[in-house]
A and B are shown apart, each in its own frame.
Chain A
Amino acid sequence: MELFKYGIKQAREFIQANNEHFLALQRALVERAGTVDKKVNAYVSFSSSKLPTSLNQLSGGPLHGVPVSLKDNMCTDGWETTCASNILQGFIPPYDATVISKLKDAGAYIFAKCDMDEFAFGSSCETSCYNGRNNRKKKANASATRNPWNVDYIPGGSSGGSAACVAADEAVCSLGSDTGGSIRQPAALCGVVGLKPTYGRVSRYGLVAFGSSLDQIGPFTKTVYDNALLLQVIAGHDPKDSTSAHEPVDDYLATINKGVKDLRIGIPKEYFRFKIREDMPEKELMGNEGLDYDVELRIREAIKVYQNLGAKIVDISLPHTKYAVAVYYIIGTAEASSNLARFDGVQYGLRVYADNLREMYFKTRDEGFGDEAKRRILLGTFVLSSGYYDAYYKKAQKVRTLIKQDFDNAFQQCDVILTPTSPTPAFKIGEKLDDPISMYLSDIFTISANLAGIPALSVPCGFSKNGLPIGMQLMGKYFSEATLFQAAHTFESATDHHTKRPAL
């Protein structure tokens, strides 16, 4: 196997404190990126001069010598962090995010930083400022990340670069962030494994905030096993993040091979278009029109796989699912409008010069933010504004309670919930860019987990007719990442979807 194809497990076994091997792997990845990133555009900041030249420069640890690529919204000391926004061009954080410190303590190093939707606002990577049409300096030929399986298609988003670089074998693994599906949706669309951990499981310190009550950092990997390995390193309580959980971190690999015979897998009818079982009464037909036929087929096959593996399949209901997107766009944009207010040209990033302060604010924020960022800032400003707060923000918080309760109830009957990750495979570049709501609906299956704060993982489960990857989502109870890994690993071991790689 070529070195660049290595996942974390193989990379660890290969390096084994051998500096030659360490450098060989690094070289293979640099070369690979040099060949394929011209097409994929996953990386926004990549410089071989920043890479360690010897294993001795790294701490020892479980990831000794393993390169990790990062979504460009995690602060890296001395390394530009832009959130793929014009407004943060030139921002060099003076500190490392907690996940970065944890990676470094574990012996890993930062390989490159990945493209994303601007401030994680999007599901296709097309709102990135590195997309020519959005670039302030009008680099018209620049392109945002493309899907490695077919470069006419989007990679998903917002962590599109993080998903694509792993799928394209120009990274061993990567980290992304997930506010409404931003890890799971691109993982599904690029055919890799992506996890959004339980809210509070991974520290948010140093993650440039989008929706503070929804954001979580999580791993992208080539296998479920690797995902468990990487989460093990970045999970845990952080005194710098008040919302970080004190819950002890499980040993994820200890239970990964336990199989699914003891597991009850819940299938929520609201996530499907057709009856889940033939003997269901006609009125149970969900008619989820947005669900692609290929996707539904692959998910049904996956359910069969689980059945054959001995899992118990249960019908469940998450009755408030259809409100999730609405609730998310109120809460997420409200928090974002406040989180993004600091980008005003005073301390860092873009400043458009003006005679007076007020004008500087208006001009900087006009030139610095792209369309989707403006849309969300304005929407968030509106739902918090005086006279509308109760009808929108507060109401949404109440519906959030109902969505959370749906899961509490469902998990009385099952251990894991299985759904499609995304209603469709990757769509074509430009297809949904001017239709915000249709774009928002690509997160319809992933958003609920963020609103409830539960962990959710996307794992490859096949391909569409035209050869694009499809992912299934497994959602679990709070802090049940070990169970998700167990369920996903069992599925992965019984199937070969994850072994397929795009031809680049």
Chain B
Amino acid sequence: MSTGKYEAVIGLEVHVQLNTQSKIFCSCRNRFGDRPNANTCPVCLGLPGSLPVLNRKVLESAIKVGLALNCHVAERMKFDRKNYFYPDLPKAYQISQFDMPVSAKGYVDIMVNGEPKKIGITRAHVEEDAGKLLHEGIKDGSNVDYNRTGTPLIEIVSEPDMRMPEEAYEYLTALKAILQYLEVSDCNMEEGSLRCDANVSIRPRGQKEFGVKAEIKNLNSFKAVARAIQYEIDRQTDSIEEGDTVVQETRLWNDAKGVTTSMRSKEEAHDYRYFPEPDLVPFVISREIVSKIKATMPELPRERQQRFVDTYGITVLDAAVLTQEKRLADFYEETVACGSDPKAASNWIANELLGQMKQRDLTIATLTITPKAMANLIQIINKGLISGKIGKDVLGEMFSTDKLPEEIVKAKGLLQISDEGAIARVIDEVIAAHQKSVDDYRAGKKNALGFLVGQVMQKTKGKANPALVNKILTTKLEA
């Protein structure tokens, strides 16, 4: 990337599917993955004569999201039609919100490289999703599936407050955490329940005006968002340095090649001809309703993080890791509730468990280990029944069994040896076999001790209590 001459200006538009039972304007099932066009009716097929009626839950969820994003929730909102032709849009207009969105003017707190930053939220509005067009394997055409049509969406538009790809990544992570805590969306990028477009421009550092922006689409993961933004910053910088201009356009991210390409479609200038949706009435959001919803708001990631630090005495860093996903934070608290020491649980979950999950490509959603088992593992380590090192192996076993760690340990004979006589006998054998090291130690080469301890541990297959081995061995050597 260029030196400090330019700075990037980044704004994100995030679409989140709400996980309501039914669709936004009709009673069809709101579910991913069903048979094509199975979840449709005259309303979501946009058949002539059909009319929309708003799902109450959608507005409630939207208010929750607005509050969680520190937005002002509107006193009055309405829906508008956004007119354009596309086969996945059966009415040829999308019911959206133009000038009176449900909420606006909020912010999200993020941490970048240990520094706190606020990312402004321009607005969060409600709209309907479109259907799906399938092109693959179809000659001379495309197939349309309207199951997704009418899935409730919240579009969250950020201010152009981000300057680095890392900030975009952190913003998305924080946003996803908030939405998951609210339990309004699955936020699954693979299934498309969270989608993101990025607006990127660059300008000479110190300049106030924005540069010409490119809108990047087809971003399939948070990592892809960060990579695409970085690519775009580099591309625009090169362009300007070579004396070219950046054109305002939509570009597609190609994740395999790691580049963005211009869509270059012969698209005419868009004119969506927004106007108030005559088929839906205006909505008045009373302050009583807002307070009522506020009272039912769950604890949000930031609040939970602070509580973890205060209540469990764990580090801010661990608390941040543990609270990023609601399910993980729940897992941690349940582990503590099952009798585990909070600090030990934090260490084991934030570091060892997450590390091993990553190796196995597991997420907290697909994890089969129970908090009870996790607590049991930490307990037997703390009691000295097994060593920490054995504990890591036992954790490895736990991914593929529902036995409790203490049962695994017994079955495999992994219990730590704390019988001083037994340990002394092994030590005697080791001393007899490694006279040279014993001499070295006695001659003042104290690091020979480590080698001897290692030999004892090897002979006991790691089960000897390391503290006892140290104590007895030292006593014998110095006798």
A and B touching (Cβ–Cβ under 8 A): yes
**Which residues of A are found within 8 Å of B50, using beta-carbon distances?**
95, 205-206
Chain B, residues 304-316, CB within 8 Å of chain A (1/0): the string is 0000000000000
Interface string of A59-89 (1 = CB under 8 A from B): 0000000000000001100000101000010
Q: Scan A224-248; emit 1 where CB is below 8 A from any B CB, else 0.
A: 0000000000000001111100000
Within 8 A of B (CB), among A329-367: 334-335, 337-338, 341-344, 346-348, 355, 357, 361
B53→A242 contact, CB < 8 A: yes
Q: Does the CB pair A207–B279 fall under 8 Å?
A: no
Residues of A within 8 A of B278 (CB): 211-213, 243, 335
Query: Does A418 interact with chain B (Cβ within 8 Å)?
Result: no
Query: Which residues of chain B (97-152) have a CB below 8 Å from chain A?
Result: 140, 142, 144
Q: Pick the most buried of B45, B49, B50, B93: most chain A CB atoms within 10 A of its CB.
A: B49
Q: Does A386 contact B (CB under 8 A)?
A: yes
The verdict on B273 contacting chain A, using a C-beta distance below 8 Å, is: yes
The reply to whether A243 and B92 form a contact with Cβ atoms under 8 Å apart is no
Would you give the shortest CB distance from A87 to chain B, in whole angstroms?
A: 10
Contacts of B54 in A (CB 8 A): 242
Q: Which residues of B contact A3 (CB under 8 A)?
A: none
What CA separation (Å) do A384 and B81 show in the bound complex? Answer: 11
**CB neighbours of A14 from chain B (8 A):** none
B8-63 residues with Cβ-Cβ distance < 8 A to A are: 42, 45-54
The distance in angstroms between the C-alpha atoms of A75 and B47, with both chains bound, is 10
Once the chains bind, are B90 and A346 in contact (CB under 8 Å)?
A: yes
Contacts of A348 in B (CB 8 A): 47
Tell whether, in the assembled complex, residue A384 and residue B279 are in contact, meaning their CB atoms are under 8 Å apart.
no
Verify B90–A384 contact, CB threshold 8 A: no
- If A213-B278, A242-B280, A342-B90 touch, whether A75 touches B49 (CB-CB below 8 Å) is yes
Contact of B42 (CB < 8 Å), options: A88, A94, A204, A212: A94
Residues of the A chain whose Cβ atoms lie less than 8 Å from the Cβ of B53: 239-242
A242, B91: Cβ atoms closer than 8 Å: no
Q: B451 on the interface (CB 8 Å rule)?
A: no
The listed residue (A91, A240, A334) touching B48 by CB distance below 8 A is A91
Binary CB contact string for chain A from 290 to 329 against chain B (1 if under 8 A, 0 otherwise): 0000000000000000000000000000000000000000
Cβ of B466 within 8 Å of any chain A Cβ, yes or no, is: no
List the B side residues contacting A384 at CB < 8 Å. Answer: 83, 273-275
B87 surroundings in chain A (CB, below 8 A): 344, 346, 357
**Which residues between 174 and 222 of chain A lie within 8 Å of chain B, taking CB atoms?**
204-209, 211-213
Is B49 a contact partner of A386 (Cβ separation < 8 A)? no
A491 at the B interface (CB under 8 A): no
Number of interface residues of A (CB under 8 A): 44
Shortest CB distance B42–A (Å): 5
Is the CB–CB distance between A93 and B49 below 8 Å?
yes
| Chain A residues positioned under 8 Å from B46 (CB to CB) | 342, 347
Look across to chain B and name the residue whose beta carbon is closest to the beta carbon of A205.
Answer: B51
Q: Which of A75, A338, A343 contacts B275 (CB 8 A)?
A: A338
Q: Is the CB of A242 within 8 A of B47?
A: no
The contact of B51 among A240, A337, A341, by CB within 8 Å, is A240
Judge if A478 is at the interface, Cβ distance under 8 Å. no
* Chain B residue contacts of A249, Cβ below 8 A: none
CA of A85 to CA of B401 in the docked complex: distance in angstroms? 67
Please measure, in the bound complex, the distance between the C-alpha atom of A261 and the C-alpha atom of B48, giving whole angstroms: 45
How far is it, in angstroms, between the C-alpha of A207 and the C-alpha of B83 when the chains are bound? 21
- A79 vs B140: C-alpha distance when bound (angstroms): 32
Known: A334-B275, A384-B83. A242 touches B48 (CB 8 A): no
In contact, A341 and B93 (Cβ under 8 angstroms): yes
Q: Are B273 and A75 in contact (CB under 8 A)?
A: no
| A381 contacts B49, C-beta separation under 8 Å | no
A242 & B279 in contact (Cβ 8 Å cutoff): yes
Whether the Cβ atoms of A386 and B91 lie closer than 8 Å is no
* B83 partner residues in chain A, CB cutoff 8 A: 337-338, 341, 384
Q: For residue A341, which residues in chain B have a CB less than 8 angstroms away from its CB?
A: 83, 85, 91-93
Q: Mark B77-95, 1 if CB is under 8 A from A, else 0.
A: 0000101010100111100
Q: Does B271 contact A (CB under 8 A)?
A: yes
Give the CA-CA distance A355 to B274 in the complex, in Å.
30
Partner of B49, one of A207, A334, A361: A207
Do B81 and A338 touch across chains, with their CB atoms under 8 A apart?
A: yes
B275 with A344: CB separation less than 8 A: no
A344 to chain B, nearest CB (A): 6
CB distance from A233 to the nearest CB of B (A): 19
The interface residues of chain B lying within 8 Å CB-to-CB of A243 are 51, 278-281
Pick the contact of A208: B48, B140, B273, B274 (CB < 8 A): B48
Residues in chain B near residue A241, CB distance under 8 A: 51, 53
Interface centre among B46, B81, B144, B274, by most A CB within 10 Å?
Answer: B81
Rounded to whole angstroms, the CA-CA distance of A115 and B275 in the bound complex is: 31
Given contacts A338-B81, A338-B275, A341-B92, contact A242 B51 (CB under 8 A): yes
CB < 8 Å: which of B49, B142, B273, B281 contacts A338?
A: B273
Q: Closest chain A residue to B146 by CB distance?
A: A347
**Chain B contacts of A344 at CB under 8 A?**
85, 87, 92
B52: chain A residues at CB < 8 Å are 242
The reply to whether A381 and B90 contact each other, CB–CB distance below 8 Å, is no
- Distance in angstroms from B44 CB to nearest chain A CB is 12
Q: B93 contacts which chain A residues (CB < 8 A)? A: 338, 341
B48: chain A residues within 8 A (beta carbon): 75, 81, 83, 88, 91, 93, 208-209, 342-343
Task: Give the docked Cα–Cα distance between A211 and B93 (Å).
Answer: 15
Chain A residues with CB under 8 A of B47? 75, 93-95, 347-348
In whole Å, how far is A102's beta carbon from the nearest beta carbon of chain B?
15
Q: How far is the CB of B4 from chain A (nearest CB, A)?
A: 39
Q: Which of A74, A205, A208 has the most B CB atoms < 10 Å from its CB?
A: A205
Specify which of A81, A344, A348 lies most central, judged by the most chain B CB atoms within 10 Å of its CB: A344
**Contacting residues of chain B (267-288) with chain A, CB-CB under 8 angstroms:** 271, 273-275, 278-281
Distance from B55 Cβ to chain A, minimum over Cβ atoms (Å): 12
Query: Quick one: which of A213, A241, A346 has the most chain B CB within 10 A?
Result: A346
Question: Is there an interface contact between B45 and A347, defined as CB atoms closer than 8 Å?
Answer: yes
- Complex interface: chain A residues within 8 A of B92 (CB): 338, 341-342, 344
Evaluate contact between B273 and A381: CB separation under 8 angstroms.
yes
Distance in angstroms from A392 CB to nearest chain B CB is: 11
Is the CB–CB distance between A385 and B280 below 8 Å? no
In the complex, chain B residues 332-353 whose Cβ is within 8 Å of any chain A Cβ: none
- Give the distance to chain B from A399, nearest Cβ to Cβ, in Å: 16
Is A411's beta carbon under 8 Å from chain B? no
A327 to B249, CA, bound (A): 38
Chain B residues whose CB sits within 8 angstroms of the CB of A121 once the complex forms: none
A334 to B278, CA, bound (A): 11
- C-alpha gap A213/B51 in the complex (Å): 12
Q: What separation, in Å, do the CA atoms of A385 and B83 have in the docked complex?
A: 10
Nearest 5 CB-CB pairs, A to B? Answer: A341-B92, A384-B273, A212-B278, A213-B278, A208-B48
Known contacts A242-B281, A243-B280, A342-B92; 12 further A-B pairs (Cβ under 8 A)? A93-B42, A205-B51, A209-B279, A212-B278, A243-B51, A335-B278, A338-B273, A341-B91, A343-B48, A346-B90, A347-B47, A357-B142
What are 8 sample pairs from A and B whose C-beta atoms fall under 8 A apart? A83-B48, A206-B49, A208-B48, A209-B48, A348-B47, A357-B142, A386-B273, A389-B273
